[in-house]
Structure 1
Amino acid sequence: MTIPFRLAVTAIVAAACAGPGAAQSGAAPYSVQETGQRFRTLQEAVSAIGDGAGTIYIAPGRYRDCAVQEAGRVAFIAEQRGTATFDGEMCEGKAALVLRGRESHVEGLVFQNARVPDGNGAGIRMEQGNLTVAWTMFQNGQCGILSANDPGSTIRIDHSTFSGLGKHPDGTGAHSLYIGEYGALIVTNSRFERGTGGHYLKSRAPRIEVTGTSFDDSRGSATNYAIDLSAGATGRIAGNIFVNGRGKENYSTMIAVAAEGVHNSSAGLVVENNDVSLAPGVTYETVFVGNWSDDRLTVRGNRLGKGVKAEEGR
């Protein structure tokens, strides 16, 4: 029986954590778990896996490095969470990791200073296949994750942080997390903060789940929506924390549904049990859920602070 890729990665990580500490990397900081081979560059390690399935462990350090995954199933995992940082090197003028294989898993890494001239530099550019991201930080750049379209695949993000991302003076526009026409986006137990422009989470996927996540705009600048479901979506947004700050470019709505046109059904979208407030010193009023779709949403059980209206439609 074939073990699903995500389960196989989990088993490998558990085995590694149970064993002795990671070997010293020297000049070859990338190791492929399945073969024991070590490589000087991340691209060499990815190419060695090719169209197969493999796990690349990344030693602690700061790397001016990047890679393109063209095929296969590849896991990119820090030997120690938060100690392997990819700092500003962009492959194909896009991202530190450009992923277009069958499946990708990213865990425990830090991506920072992702910037390119067109304004859409990213830690991860997801072009095809399923993606799982866990315990990873994206900071001080343009985009954290930016995807193309793959309606048959899903992007899952868990226990990850998006901080200091968005439109910068050297770019025309970006969002902390921008997912195109993927099948589904699932975000759990994560944090968005200190945005520098654009939306914190923008998605064109027809299915959405956001739970246990915080959108802290108290130190944001020139930001827009916390969540922009620009084409509409069904699913659930529940048990999150939303705080709107003083430095917003657009403070009218926190969650926008179908603001750019009705392309997906939003019937049955549930927004419930969220904590919603304005940061100290904010004097404007806002709407928690702005609904531009033709569908009725379920908005219930949300704890709204002063100056926040529950819902408004066209």
Structure 2
Amino acid sequence: MRIGAGVVALLCVNATAGAATLRVGPFEQFTQIADAAKRAKDGDTVEILPGEYRGDVAVWNQKQLTIRGVGERPVLIAEGASAEGKAIWVIRNGDFRIQNVEFRGARVPDGNGAGIRLERGRLHVSGSAFVDNQNGILTGNDSDTELRIDDSLFAEAPRNAPLPHLLYAGRIARLEVSGSRFHRGYEGHLIKSRARYNDIRYNLIHDGPGGEASYEIDFPNGGVAFVVGNVIGQSAATQNPVVVAYGAEGRVWPDSGLYLSHNTLLNERMTGAWFLRVWKDKLPAGTEIKAVNNLTVGLGVFTLAAPGEFSGNVPAIAAFLGGPDILDFTLGPNSILRRLGTDPGQARGYSLAPAAEFALPIGTHALEAPLRWAPGAFQTSGYAP
């Protein structure tokens, strides 16, 4: 073990030895992001100054790189351009961190143009935005790829694209999403993931006014999925009554399990919703479904559409919340519903209790365990802007 740790440390030193910072901006070393992408070496940092970068698309071939916007978020506008007919940025195969960058307007003839196309490797995106793209982020199907997203915005799926998804993870090893907001989808899904392992926590996944998404979260091939502490909301104009879908297209991975804990699930359709639909007959034998302390708001079914272990889940109407129209999904401090939660327990050795809450406009704040757990995504109250 000591030898292995030493080798890893040596590799990290070698990757960053002599690392440079390349700056992109009107009066900087590089005026085009594409030029910096060609010149950057492994371990470098690329800094992008504020402004609009139109038609400036790039392929990143490095093995290790940090790319960050400096100050006010720089905005990359596709304007009909794409890297390799795929995306504004293509990440080939490396360990990348992208911070504070906005991607807009990705379009390609195949209909799957992305703000970022992750083909292989590991990518950590934080504090960024993906607006009006055929796909916000789209991955390949490499089974070792990992994607992590923190504190980012995905919004405004275009109406002239075939089935746009705000986020689409293919058959990759791992997807993690935290502190992020998803809204105003159209026909496609807000989050679609075929990943082997999924961790979706403390997000505002609420289609909202003007949204016409189908599923809010879709795990078409099952996999292991922890969905904890999110607001997951379906608009009145949704294209499909299912809010969370699991296993619709059949198994890919040998192991699957779905764990929903402390989510607030909303439906604005007058004709009702399936808050959760599970195609258990298409999943591996023994697939575990567990849902605890979820709050369902609006007309619809939850436990009837999915066999599994359910406890502490409570139906409610919008009047019990602070004000969904102003994005206040909290229960009042004296709400009778606060008494109906239960101990969240564990699954696969991990606690199902939330450790944080989504915080407007983007991000999270830490949460101390209360004396008694309330159902839904918020233990505290009054988080409207």
Q: TM-score, normalised by structure 1?
A: 0.84
Cα distance in 1 for residues equivalent to 2:237 and 2:231 = 18
Shift of 1:212: 0.5
Cα distance in 1 for residues equivalent to 2:25 and 2:72 = 16
Deviation sequence 1:230-278 (CA, Å, 0-9, x none): 1102131010001111111111x11111101122256442101001122
Shift of 1:296: 2.9
Residue pair 1:181, 1:204 contacting (<8 A) in 2 also = yes
Deviation sequence 1:43-72 (CA, Å, 0-9, x none): 22122224x221100011100111101232
Cα distance in 2 for residues equivalent to 1:210 and 1:260 = 20
Equivalent residue number for residue 277 of structure 2: 290
Provide the alpha-carbon RMSD of the alignment. Answer: 2.3
5+ residue gaps, structure 1, are 17-22, 29-37
2:195 equivalent among 198, 205, 226: 205
In the alignment, does 2:88 pair up with 1:99? no
Cα distance in 2 for residues equivalent to 1:2 and 1:211 = 34
Could you say what secondary structure the match of 2:34 adopts?
Answer: helix
1:47 equivalent among 38, 51, 74: 38
Could you say what secondary structure the match of 1:262 adopts?
Answer: coil
Aligned ranges 1:1-314 → 2 under 5 Å: 1-2=9-10, 25-28=25-28, 38-50=29-41, 52-64=42-54, 65-82=56-73, 84-88=74-78, 89-165=81-157, 168-169=159-160, 171-251=161-241, 253-265=242-254, 267-279=256-268, 282-293=269-280, 294=283, 295-311=287-303, 312-313=305-306
Amino acid aligned to 1:165: A
Shift of 1:211: 0.4
Equivalent residue number for residue 327 of structure 2: none
Residues 2 and 307 from structure 1, CA distance in 2 versus in 1: closer, same or farther, beyond 3 angstroms?
farther
Equivalent residue number for residue 357 of structure 2: none
Shift of 1:93: 1.5
Residues 43 and 248 from structure 1, CA distance in 2 versus in 1: closer, same or farther, beyond 3 angstroms?
same
Amino acid aligned to 1:257: Y
Residues 211 and 2 from structure 1, CA distance in 2 versus in 1: closer, same or farther, beyond 3 angstroms?
farther
- Identity level (%): 29
Amino acid aligned to 2:221: A
Cα distance in 1 for residues equivalent to 2:10 and 2:183 = 40
Cα distance in 1 for residues equivalent to 2:299 and 2:209 = 19
Shift of 1:108: 0.4
Residue pair 1:266, 1:296 contacting (<8 A) in 2 also = no
Number of aligned residue pairs? 285
Equivalent residue number for residue 345 of structure 2: none
Residues 214 and 4 from structure 1, CA distance in 2 versus in 1: closer, same or farther, beyond 3 angstroms?
farther
Cα distance in 2 for residues equivalent to 1:160 and 1:24 = 22
Amino acid aligned to 2:223: A
Shift of 1:162: 0.4
Residue pair 1:73, 1:101 contacting (<8 A) in 2 also = no
Residue pair 1:177, 1:201 contacting (<8 A) in 2 also = yes
Could you say what secondary structure the match of 2:109 adopts?
Answer: coil
Cα distance in 1 for residues equivalent to 2:179 and 2:255 = 23
Amino acid aligned to 1:74: L
Question: In terms of Rg, which structure is larger?
Answer: 2
Cα distance in 1 for residues equivalent to 2:65 and 2:262 = 36
Shift of 1:145: 0.3
Could you say what secondary structure the match of 1:250 adopts?
Answer: coil
Could you say what secondary structure the match of 1:176 adopts?
Answer: strand
Residues 297 and 81 from structure 1, CA distance in 2 versus in 1: closer, same or farther, beyond 3 angstroms?
farther
Residue pair 2:163, 2:186 contacting (<8 A) in 1 also = no
Shift of 1:175: 0.7
Deviation sequence 1:185-208 (CA, Å, 0-9, x none): 000000000112200101110100
Cα distance in 2 for residues equivalent to 1:192 and 1:212 = 12
Residues 148 and 286 from structure 1, CA distance in 2 versus in 1: closer, same or farther, beyond 3 angstroms?
same
Residues 179 and 96 from structure 1, CA distance in 2 versus in 1: closer, same or farther, beyond 3 angstroms?
same
Residue pair 2:167, 2:191 contacting (<8 A) in 1 also = yes
